[in-house]
Structure 1
Amino acid sequence: MSTLSTDLLLHRAGAKSYWRGLTYRDAVLELRVHSRHVAALVRGNDDYAVSLSWDGSLLVGECSCPYGDEGFFCKHCVAVGLVLLEQGTDVPPSDAEDVELRSHLASLNAEALRELLYEHAARDAPLRARIMRATNPSAN
């Protein structure tokens, strides 16, 4: 498992975004550590939604700022990472049990679950194929 560090943030963002991210630490709002990712709101010219997660050993940062929208690991992602380090917190591993998601799914009724699954499977060919191959345990 990979570990969050200042060196990793510098490597992912590059020197310019890293140093700019240092000045945004106080702008990190609503930081939440979820089962498989970290989400935060970072105040800038607007309020930007930031998410940090692992893809294997690669730290992935997503941000709704213009630079982040282009796929770059931006200063807002750096700021969130630095706040996590200051708190002694890491980005959870990508294979962690997502208790929050399981709990929410358990609270939904069957029709709502079918609709959500249909919406995603209609756009995701591999998911659709998995569903079509699945056997119905109640039919046995």
Structure 2
Amino acid sequence: MTLVSTTLTTELLLHRAGTKSYWRGLTYRESVLSLRVHSRHVAARVRGGDDSAYVVELSWSGTHLVGACSCPHGSEGFFCKHCVAVGLVLLDRGETVPPPDAEDVELKDVLRALPAEVLRELLYEQAAGDPQLRARIISAR
């Protein structure tokens, strides 16, 4: 049995981005304006070459590292230099992208604070468009 890892490494960043974007990402580490590790993802803002700020998110989809960025290259679905820069800053800080099965403490805290009527409305909206969720709710009665 092969164990598959959700460990952030420089090798993984190189693999996901490719050589060109990885090397360009090395020079963008100091352009990371903000970085926050959430329960199941990392959110960051990175200054681009034209002084605009791009929104970056890193997360896991199973064992696949996913990077999303609002820059033109990232908007086309590529793991861009901004994603690499965020990953490298995480590694520099001794932090990582939380695993996909991490307990989402942040979400649980927000849900506890919401009024019951708001929760019901949110759940209804979600279940109305998701047959599996609807079936789970119906069978839970």
Normalized against structure 2, the TM-score is what? Answer: 0.88
**What SS does structure 2 have at the residue aligned with 1:32?**
strand
Q: Which residue of 1 aligns with 2:125?
A: 119
**Aligned-pair distance for 1:32?**
0.5
Runs of 4+, deviation exceeding 4 Å: none
Segments of structure 1 that go 5 or more residues without pairing to the other structure are 136-140
The offset of 1:73, in angstroms, is: 0.7
3-state SS of paired residue (1:91): coil
Identity across matched positions, percent? 71
- Once the two structures are TM-superposed, the CA of residue 30 in structure 1 deviates from its matched residue by 1.8
Q: Distance in 1 between matches of 2:137 and 2:56?
A: 32
| Root mean square deviation of aligned Cα | 1.4
Amino acid at match of 2:73: Y
Give the secondary-structure state (helix, strand or coil) at the position aligned to 2:8.
coil
Aligned: 1:17 with 2:21: yes
* Number of aligned residues: 135
Distance 2:76 2:140 in 1: 37
- Supply the distance in 1 between the matched residues of 2:44 and 2:37 (Cα, whole angstroms): 9
| Amino acid across the alignment from 2:70 | S
Gaps of 5+ in 2: none
Question: Which residue, out of 80, 84, 88, partners 1:78?
Answer: 84
Which whole-Å CA distance do the structure 1 matches of 2:8 and 2:140 have between them?
38
1:127 positional shift? 2.3
